[in-house]
Amino acid sequence: MIEAETISDVALGAAPERVQGPWREFWHAYAQSRGALLGLALTVTLVLLAIFAGVVAPHPPYEQYREFTLTPPVWQAGGSGDFILGTDPVGRDILSRLIYGTRLSLLIGLISVAISLSLGVVLGMIAGYVRGWVETTIMRLMDVMLSLPSLLLAIAVVAILGPGLINAMYAIAIVLLPHYVRLARAAVIAEAGREYVQSSRIAGAGALRLMFNTILPNCLAPLIVQATLGFSSAILDAAALGFLGLGAQPPTPEWGSMLADALEFIQRASWVVTFPGLAILVTVLAFNLMGDGLRDALDPKLKR
Amino acid sequence: MQGDELRFYRVGNVVDAKTPALIGTGFGLQVGLLLSGAILTETIFSWPGVGNWLIHGVQSRDYPVVQGGILLVASIVISVNLIVDLLYGVVNPRIRHA
């Protein structure tokens, strides 16, 4: 009894200095980079804006104030305090539409990355674990998809499925797929010969358990990084599709379609085009900074 | 860099060392991005290029146009990448003689 107490006391006394949880260690590595912290802060802001769009936005996104068409932003001559970033050609408040657009863009990013990550991991795991003709079939198929530029492949898929926001999400998910498949396959091939996998196999683990319980947690790091970076390319591609009229359709406050709507006013009312463009830029930048920070923090090769 | 070290680096040496990377990232990977960018640029300025043609094809459900345009762009990307792979051998003897 007494001995047990002293041991636990010693353990407690020594603990705070040395023991670091994996999360703490990760945070320490992540916080090394200012850019990564900036990216995280921007991302959190954007997520909060998207969640609380209904509370934050000063106007409804579809409300047309017909007396205030093409009002300049508040700091320009003729600007009104009611419409901080000005209004578009039919008098809708640009700031409110941008805030609601955040919701759409993040949703597109989330859904398309979720689809392609889950599908890509499964396909890559199978390819890397089974090898043989299964691997050849899957990987050659992915090579075909990689031979098309990302936007063109998305356009091809939308051409088959028909224009629309949901189909654009599927298209982007398909475009992002080969990256995850290749990453997962490479990680599985690297890990499959390791001792812990062999010992697990000798202990009687089945193929599914080996793939998803034993190997997968050990190759998550590159997948997490790729998912974060995939988020930004998904948002960019969604905006490009919306701009071309193949993604979100006009009344929807999607950044790309807002750009396309206002294109003819670029000389007369530059704010209509500038702010959606800036919104895309900031969002993509935030996710890229965060992805780079995650890569630096999670990659054991780059660890100091 | 000090003067003594400097004399070992000439423009030619640096160019020799960096050309494979320049070709690889400069042409091979960028050509796809370039062509997707062309689709957007042609739409903005309504230039009569492949990209604009393709978008009109999608909007008017003209599937032969879409198929042909996509096949054309994919062929360009693949042939440029093939040429880049061959050029690697030309500029880098280690790959040529492997």
CB-CB neighbours of A187 under 10 Å? 22
Evaluate if residue A5 carries a pLDDT over 60: no
Q: By C-alpha distance, which of A252, A249, A192, A248 is closest to A216?
A: A192
Per residue in A103-136, pLDDT tens?
989 999 999 999 999 999 999 999 988 888 999 9
Interface with chain B: mutation pick from A150, A155, A175, highest number of B CBs within 10 Å: A155
Whole-number pLDDT of residue B18: 60
Of B43, B58, B73, which is closest to A149 when you measure between CB atoms? B73
Judged against a pLDDT cut of 90, whether residue A285 lies above it is answered with: yes
Query: B58 vs A159: CB contact, 8 Å cut-off?
Result: yes
Whether A76 has a pLDDT exceeding 90, the answer reads: no
Q: Which of A176, A190, A158 is nearest to A118 (CA)?
A: A176
How far is the CA of B62 from the CAs of A79, A188, A191, B54, in angstroms? 45, 42, 47, 9
As a whole number of angstroms, the distance between CA A163 and CA A155 comes to 9
What is the distance in angstroms between the Cα of B92 and the nearest Cα belonging to chain A? 24
Report d(CA A20, CA A275) in Å as an integer. 44
Chain B (13-32) residues lying within 8 Å, Cβ to Cβ, of chain A: 32
- DSSP code of A131? -
What single string gives the DSSP state of each residue in B58-80?
HHTT-HHHHHHHHHHHHHHHHHH
CA B58 to chain A, closest CA, distance in angstroms equals 5
The type of residue at A59 is H
- The number of C-alpha atoms within 13 Å of A224 and in the hemisphere containing its C-beta is 15
pLDDT tens-digit readout, A154-213: 988 988 888 888 999 999 999 999 999 998 998 888 888 888 888 888 888 888 888 888
Task: Please report residues of A whose CB lies closer than 8 A to that of B28.
Answer: none
Of A148, A150, A263, the CB nearest to B74: A148
User: Between A and B, how many residue pairs show a Cβ–Cβ distance under 8 A?
Assistant: 57
Q: How confident is the model at residue A295 (pLDDT cuts 50, 70, 90)?
A: confident
Residue A89: pLDDT over 70: yes
Q: Is A162 exposed, middle or buried (0-12, 13-18, 19+ CB in 10 A)?
A: exposed
Residue A117: the pLDDT is 93
Across all residues in chain A, what is the average pLDDT?
83
Q: Mind telling me how many Å the CA of B18 is from chain A's nearest CA?
A: 23
| B44 vs A148, A152, A263: nearest CB | A263
Assigned token pair, A271? 């704010």
Is B63's Cβ below 8 Å from some Cβ in A?
A: yes
Interface contact B73-A148, CB threshold 8 A: yes
- Rounded to two decimals, what is the model's pTM? 0.80
- The structure tokens listed for A106 are 């993040």
Give the pair of three-digit tokens for residue A163.
Answer: 């224009």
A161 to each of A113, A114, A156, how far by Cα in Å?
Answer: 19, 20, 9
Render pLDDT for B42-89 as a digit per residue (tens, 0 to 9).
Answer: 888 888 988 888 888 888 888 899 899 889 988 888 888 888 888 777
Q: Which one, of B88, B84, B75, B71, lies nearest residue B29 by Cα?
A: B84
Q: Who wins on pLDDT, A245 or A172?
A: A172
What would the mean pLDDT of A211-233 be, rounded to a whole number?
86
Nearest residue to B61 via CA among A258, A294, A246, A268:
A246
Residues 6+ apart with CB under 8 A from A263: A273, B44
A154 → chain B, closest CA residue: B36
Long-range Cβ contact pairs of A129-136 (< 8 A, separation 24 or more): A129/A188, A129/A192, A129/A207, A129/A210, A129/A211, A129/A215, A135/A185
Q: How far apart are CA B90 and CA B87, in angstroms?
A: 5
